[in-house]
Amino acid sequence: MKKNFLYLTRPGIDTHQEPVVYMREDCHVCHSEGFGAQGRVEVCTARGSIIATLNIVTGNLLSHEKAGLSEAAWRLLGAQENDKAFFRHAPPVDSMSVVRGKLYGKPITPEGAQGIITDICQGRYSDIQMAAYITACVANNLNLTETIAITRAMVNVGQRFDWGEGRIVVDKHCVGGLPGYRTTPIVVAIAAANGLVMPKTSSRAITSPAGTADTMETLTHVRLGFEQMRKVVEQEGACLAWGGSVSLSPTDDIIIRVERALDLDSEGQLVASVISKKVAAGSTHVLIDIPIGATAKVRSTSQAETLADLLRKTGEALGLTINVLFSDGSQPVGRGIGPALEAADLLAVLRNQPGAPADLRARSLTLAAALLEMGGLGDADKCRQLAQQTLESGAAWRKFEAICQAQGGLRELPVAAFTHEIVADRSGVIAMINNRVISRLASLAGAPGSPAAGVYLRVSVGDVVEAGDALMTLHAEAAGELEYALDFYQTHSDVVHIEAEVV
Amino acid sequence: MKKNFLYLTRPGIDTHQEPVVYMREDCHVCHSEGFGAQGRVEVCTARGSIIATLNIVTGNLLSHEKAGLSEAAWRLLGAQENDKAFFRHAPPVDSMSVVRGKLYGKPITPEGAQGIITDICQGRYSDIQMAAYITACVANNLNLTETIAITRAMVNVGQRFDWGEGRIVVDKHCVGGLPGYRTTPIVVAIAAANGLVMPKTSSRAITSPAGTADTMETLTHVRLGFEQMRKVVEQEGACLAWGGSVSLSPTDDIIIRVERALDLDSEGQLVASVISKKVAAGSTHVLIDIPIGATAKVRSTSQAETLADLLRKTGEALGLTINVLFSDGSQPVGRGIGPALEAADLLAVLRNQPGAPADLRARSLTLAAALLEMGGLGDADKCRQLAQQTLESGAAWRKFEAICQAQGGLRELPVAAFTHEIVADRSGVIAMINNRVISRLASLAGAPGSPAAGVYLRVSVGDVVEAGDALMTLHAEAAGELEYALDFYQTHSDVVHIEAEVV
């Protein structure tokens, strides 16, 4: 009988999250096991085993004794060049029966939820199985019990911080942020300057031109490991880390990527994502901000109330105190949209610079005050004053600097090589700025991949403009990206809607 | 500005159906367009354009001026080595909004159905989008109107035969066949020997150890093109072709593959698959056989009736006459399970050999008689006699030989290199044979990929056996596969359930 193993190699193919194994068409293992393209195969080495999707190689990419692994598979297995690997048909993923049950209307039990999340965490779901899970959650929306079960399961598969018995640990989260709405670093600085513990992790952009982690990365090092994050928080009371590097809710990134590709949102899954990360961060009191607006993610008060209720009840089931604030989601906040442009706005607010965006400042103070109140620092009036003082005295800026220093130093902001000013084609009043279209424009200009790229707004709703006045400036790091954004603008010039003034 | 194109190459990677494009991480196109791994990219050449999923290559698989295409992408684009290609972000797939709508309970309109099926046909759906479509159809099952719309759309995107105005063209289909239930070639031979037109296309195995096309391929050439199939049918009145090569309902294979990977069946989608292929084949009268049994696909009469109703009404809406027969699905039919072993059974029936499986013979005659009646050859009694005479006189065998000759000649059956006999571990009566487990056993032995592989049953339900009597023989082409099947048998030895006889 022929030997049933191959030696692993790393052809250097990045398939993002789905583990892929590459095997020759004429390979003896494929033949004896009866493997076919896109089959699910278990790859076992002395280091452990993973499930991967099979791609069949018909040319000479691989030598006869080798099987290749994609980057994701290589990482997941912790493989080394020439590891000896055995292969077999992947056993059926048990928890897919829970997904199928959900599709036919059967609720997900706590055990079922743990099965799904553990299997996702261990890379046992193929991308299409992930898609089926997400679609099932959208079609037969998760109820409260199921949402709580999924949340617990997501916490269970990751690491979790413990900041000490009885200690108040605060956090904030914004559901469906607006372009430029980068309050988090300001709120964290004010809270920490007042002695609160705030171990903040943020995400990168999913579909938007910048996430808080992208913006913070233009200013400091955000890829903190678990112990590094603990050290920063113990020293400064707070941090501004990228959640992906801390692995607090490791299934979250996997789920979000497929949701994004499908452009599908399950409310229950969204709540589980948010709450699981807060619990894992060791938070006790969480302020949630939901902007409402025609072109925001949440479009109506009733939609916001349903979401708030689910967030509150799920949080409470996991031992958190949750406060929810509704805010104005009718237009972008601040001037800059894109990592470095947003960083410049928040620096201006923290440094009390003249010309700092007043809307960003006011909204950051509102959120900071609410958080100070949750942290037990006094009533609403007192906390409002406290937040303002902390900002105006420079204490918030000093705390922000100290956090950045603890994370590895404060950086100079990158500047875009290419800019282009877009002007008003007529006179009138700015009646509307479309959040979705402006985000797309900043993305096409290269944000967040190119950190200096994005849109710098020169107007707000209600401003009066003359034909020829600047509406916004596009920033790009590459000429091609600038051109791409401009092309898009040609067909979407109503992104800033100007109405003729009635005299 | 840098040039925005690359030259195509073919690294020889088979990703099955999903088109994949491979680009270097440091490639100027990726950079200027802001592409990331698993992004959807439009690849445009002078030959046309396709949408593909991006895999980023970090090593030296590709030179700087090149982009690689997977085999599916290469075929879909009809690419040639060194074709100049331009790249851009794929525009959103419009019809995904119909899928999202369906998820939220909005019915699929005829235009929506055509949009989905056309996009799937043109390779515009990624695998995860396919998964979302299928999951949506399962979660909020397709109603009759939607099923009709999807069926029409599936017919519209493929080629269609026309055998002449007013001509009766018959067909048969079995929903969820049983292991070894290979009646089609016998029924086709009897029908054609009686002058009926029967342009039969069959599928390969999806999850079973053999499809009719796999079995027929051990006997003759089944990869007939459209014109080749027309020629065979015009000459012999019938054919036994593989549906995949004729491209009558090109989206069907794509959809079925994802359904299989998810182990999900949408009843509406199943009906659309079946009926669309019959309409495209130019059939007018279709006999549908639904085996019912505890371990069959359809497990109850009420489930069968719902399905029959949907098949009948959808078929009628597309101008077909549909008759549905329910049959006994409690155990495998015939002795052989696997392509060549099933072929041997049907040859024995066609040749009136002593020892030919009586159950396969009887059931083929029942179906053939029903089809002759639909074809207008007389009443039930007369057609029953006609079918039997056609078989017994050797006319059916001669017609079968003639069809095989017209398709390229009759082949010798392959024989397995490895066999192993499984014997009864106790005496008693065969109480049950599990269709699902026996199929899995044959698949593990290598069927249908290894055409000689499978299971040869030595007993039927009701037979009395002594300990040590043969229950079945495993056939394999490779020692590894035989071992694999035996391993599985150790934990599933109850596949043939023996009950002690009550004396």
Q: How far is B441 from B496, CA to CA, in rounded Å?
A: 12
Element (H or E) spanning A441, and its range? Answer: helix A435-444
pTM for the whole structure: 0.85
Residues B83, B252, B263, B265: which is the catalytic one?
B265
pLDDT in the model for residue B502: 65
Residues A94, A127, A253, A265: which is the catalytic one?
A265
- Identify each DSSP E strand in A228-284 by its residue range: 238-242
Written as six digits, the tokens of A33 are 């096991």
Q: How far is A67 from A86, CA to CA, in rounded Å?
A: 10
pLDDT in the model for residue A1: 37
Residue A43 contacts B, CB cutoff 8 Å = no
A397 and A481, same domain (yes or no)? no
In a domain, A396, yes or no: yes
Q: Are A415 and A452 in contact (CB under 8 A)?
A: yes
B223 and B342, same domain (yes or no)? yes
Mean pLDDT of B49-69: 89
Instruction: Indicate if the pLDDT at residue B463 is higher than 80.
Output: yes
pLDDT digits (tens, 9 = 90+) for A418-450: 999 999 999 999 999 999 899 989 988 989 889
Pick the residue with more confidence: A260 or B70?
A: B70
In a domain, B60, yes or no: yes
Q: Spell out which residues of chain A touch residue B450, defining contact as CB-CB under 8 Å.
A: 34
First vs last Cα of chain A: how many Å apart? 92
Q: Are A244 and A477 in contact (CB under 8 A)?
A: no
Contact B262 A32 (CB under 8 A): no
**Which amino acid, one-letter code, is at B261?**
A
Q: Nearest Cβ partner of B127 from A1, A127, A257?
A: A127
Q: Nearest Cβ partner of A128 from B60, B261, B450?
A: B261
Cis? peptide before A414, omega within 30° of 0: no
Q: How far is A405 from B188, CA to CA, in rounded Å?
A: 80
Q: Best interface-test mutation with A: which of B41, B55, B475 has the largest number of A CBs within 10 A?
A: B55
The nearest CA of chain A is from the CA of B202 a distance in Å of 21
A402 and A491, same domain (yes or no)? no
Element (H or E) spanning A40, and its range? Answer: strand A40-45
In a domain, A259, yes or no: no
Residue A166 contacts B, CB cutoff 8 Å = no
B75 and B100, same domain (yes or no)? no
- Give me the CATH number covering residue B425: 3.90.1170.30
Q: How far is B277 from B257, CA to CA, in rounded Å?
A: 16
The per-residue DSSP string of B119-186 comes to: HHHTT-S-HHHHHHHHHHHHHTT--HHHHHHHHHHHHHTS------TT--BEEEEESSPPTT---HHH
In a domain, B127, yes or no: yes
A192 and A288, same domain (yes or no)? yes
Q: Would you call B265 a catalytic residue per the annotation?
A: yes
pLDDT digits (tens, 9 = 90+) for B305-326: 999 999 999 999 999 999 999 9
Residue A71 gets the label, from left (phi > 0), alpha (psi -120 to 50) or beta, of alpha
pLDDT in the model for residue B3: 62
Scan for tokens 């074709």, then name that residue: B83
A361 and A462, same domain (yes or no)? no
Q: In whole angstroms, what separates CA B440 from the centre of its chain? A: 17
- Identify each DSSP E strand in A58-211 by its residue range: 66-69, 84-89, 170-174, 198-202
Q: How far is A269 from A283, CA to CA, in rounded Å?
A: 20
Residue B197: which of B162, B222, B225, B223 has the closest Cα?
B162
Contact B103 A55 (CB under 8 A): no
Q: Are B52 and B19 in contact (CB under 8 A)?
A: yes
Domain range for B463 is 418-499
* Domain boundary pick from B407, B426, B444: B407
Contact B258 A100 (CB under 8 A): no
Q: How far is A495 from A436, CA to CA, in rounded Å?
A: 9
Helix (H, G, I), strand (E, B) or coil at A164: coil
pLDDT digits (tens, 9 = 90+) for B381-423: 999 999 999 999 999 999 999 999 999 999 999 999 999 999 9
In a domain, B163, yes or no: no
Q: How far is B97 from B109, CA to CA, in rounded Å?
A: 12
B134 and B270, same domain (yes or no)? no
In a domain, A100, yes or no: no
pLDDT in the model for residue B1: 37
- Give me the CATH number covering residue B135: 1.20.970.10
Residue A210 gets the label, from left (phi > 0), alpha (psi -120 to 50) or beta, of beta
pLDDT digits (tens, 9 = 90+) for B415-432: 999 999 999 999 999 999
A370 and A484, same domain (yes or no)? no
Written as six digits, the tokens of B194 are 């009686």
Written as six digits, the tokens of A212 are 């808080």
Element (H or E) spanning B373, and its range? Answer: helix B358-374
C-alpha triplet A294, A174, A151: angle, nearest 5°:
115
* Domain boundary pick from B89, B120, B140: B89
Q: Spell out which residues of chain B touch residue A59, defining contact as CB-CB under 8 Å.
A: 10-13
Residue B379 contacts A, CB cutoff 8 Å = no
B236 and B342, same domain (yes or no)? yes
Contact B13 A450 (CB under 8 A): no
* Domain boundary pick from B367, B382, B407: B407
- Give B 106-145 residues with CB within 8 A of chain A: 126-132, 134-136, 138-140
Write out chain A's pLDDT in tens, 503 residues: 346 789 999 999 988 878 999 999 888 787 767 677 778 899 999 999 999 999 989 878 888 899 999 999 999 999 999 999 999 888 778 899 999 999 988 999 999 999 999 999 988 998 899 999 999 998 878 999 999 999 999 999 999 999 998 899 999 999 977 899 999 999 999 999 999 999 999 988 877 899 999 999 999 999 999 999 999 999 999 999 998 888 788 898 888 888 888 888 789 999 999 999 999 999 999 999 999 998 888 999 999 999 999 999 999 999 999 999 999 999 999 999 999 999 999 999 999 999 999 999 999 999 999 999 999 999 999 999 999 999 999 999 999 999 999 999 999 999 999 999 999 999 999 999 999 899 989 988 989 889 999 999 999 999 999 999 999 999 999 888 898 899 889 989 999 999 987 65
Instruction: Indicate if the pLDDT at residue B303 is higher than 70.
Output: yes
Q: Which residue of chain B comes nearest to A138, CA vs CA?
A: B103
pLDDT digits (tens, 9 = 90+) for B338-390: 999 999 999 999 999 999 999 999 999 999 999 999 999 999 999 999 999 99
Pick the residue with more confidence: A371 or B35?
A: A371
A467 and A401, same domain (yes or no)? no
Structural domains in chain B (count): 4
- Eight-class DSSP state of B222: -
Torsion of CA A133, A134, A140, A146, to 10 degrees: 80
Written as six digits, the tokens of B84 are 């100049």
Could you tell me the CA-to-CA distances from B478 to A98, A253, B277, B293, B482 in Å, in that order? 36, 42, 35, 33, 7
Q: Spell out which residues of chain B touch residue A26, defining contact as CB-CB under 8 Å.
A: none
C-alpha triplet B165, B200, B475: angle, nearest 5°:
180
B79 and B217, same domain (yes or no)? no
Per-residue buried b or exposed e for B219-241, using 16+ beta carbons within 10 Å of the residue's own CB: bbbbebebebbbebbeebbbbbb
A53 and A187, same domain (yes or no)? no
Contact B14 A131 (CB under 8 A): no
Q: Best interface-test mutation with B: which of A60, A135, A260 has the largest number of B CBs within 10 A?
A: A135
In a domain, B412, yes or no: no
β-partners of residue A286 are A171, A322
- Give me the CATH number covering residue A48: 2.40.40.20
Neighbours of B78 (CB within 10 A): 11
Residue B57 contacts A, CB cutoff 8 Å = yes
What would the 3-class secondary structure string for A258-270 be? HHHHHCCCCHHHH
Contact A129 B38 (CB under 8 A): no
Q: Nearest Cβ partner of B132 from A70, A71, A135?
A: A135
The nearest CA of chain B is from the CA of A388 a distance in Å of 40
Q: Are B200 and B239 in contact (CB under 8 A)?
A: yes
Q: How far is B91 from A477, CA to CA, in rounded Å?
A: 23
Residue B461: pLDDT band with limits 50, 70, 90: very high
Q: Spell out which residues of chain B touch residue A4, defining contact as CB-CB under 8 Å.
A: 480
In a domain, A250, yes or no: no
| φ/ψ of residue A256, rounded to 5 | -60, -40
Contact B140 A139 (CB under 8 A): yes
Q: Spell out which residues of chain B touch residue A100, defining contact as CB-CB under 8 Å.
A: 263-264
Contact B135 A140 (CB under 8 A): no
**Which amino acid, one-letter code, is at B412?**
E
